[in-house]
Amino acid sequence: MGILGLRAKPPRVSKGFKYLSDDGRVMVVIVDVRGGEYYEAFRKAFKVLGGLRKLISSGDKVVIKPNVGFTHSDAVTNPILVRDFARYIMDEVPNANIIIAESAVAGNDTSYCFESTGYMDALGNLDVKIVDLKRLSGTVKVRTDSRLIPYINVYELVYDADVLISMPMLKRHIEATVTISLKNMMGAIPDSEKRKFHLIGLSRCIALLNKVLNPDLAVIDATRIMAKSGPGHGEIIELNKIIISSDLVAADLIAAKMLFEAEGVERPLEKALNVKHIRLAYKLDIGTLDLSRIKIINIEV
Q: How long, in residues, is the chain?
A: 301
The answer to the question of residue 108 lying near another protein (CB under 8 A) is: yes
Query: Alpha-carbon Rg of the chain, whole angstroms?
Result: 18
Footprint of another protein on residues 167-186 (CB under 8 A)? 173-176
Classified as helix, coil or strand, 74 is helix
Classified as helix, coil or strand, 60 is coil
Provide, rounded to whole angstroms, the least separation between the CB of residue 195 and another protein. Answer: 4
The answer to the question of residue 148 lying near another protein (CB under 8 A) is: no
Which of 97, 116, 146, 214 lies at the binding interface for another protein (CB under 8 A)?
116
DSSP tag of 9:
B
- Residue 168's beta-bridge partner residues? none
The answer to the question of residue 195 lying near another protein (CB under 8 A) is: yes
Where in 133-274 does DSSP place strands (E)? Answer: 139-143, 151-155, 163-167, 169-173, 177-179, 217-227, 235-245
Residues 57-96: x where in contact with another protein by CB under 8 A, - otherwise, as a string: --------------x-------------------------
Provide, rounded to whole angstroms, the least separation between the CB of residue 197 and another protein. Answer: 8
- Residue 151's beta-bridge partner residues? 143
Only segment of 32-40, 135-143, 194-202, 265-273 that touches another protein (CB under 8 A): 194-202
Which of 15, 129, 143, 196 lies at the binding interface for another protein (CB under 8 A)?
196
Which of 20, 48, 80, 106 lies at the binding interface for another protein (CB under 8 A)?
106
Cα–Cα separations (whole angstroms), residue 178 to 8, 47, 57, 256: 30, 29, 32, 7
Residue ranges that bind another protein, judged by CB under 8 A: 71, 105-109, 112, 116, 173-176, 191, 194-196, 198-199, 201-203, 231-233
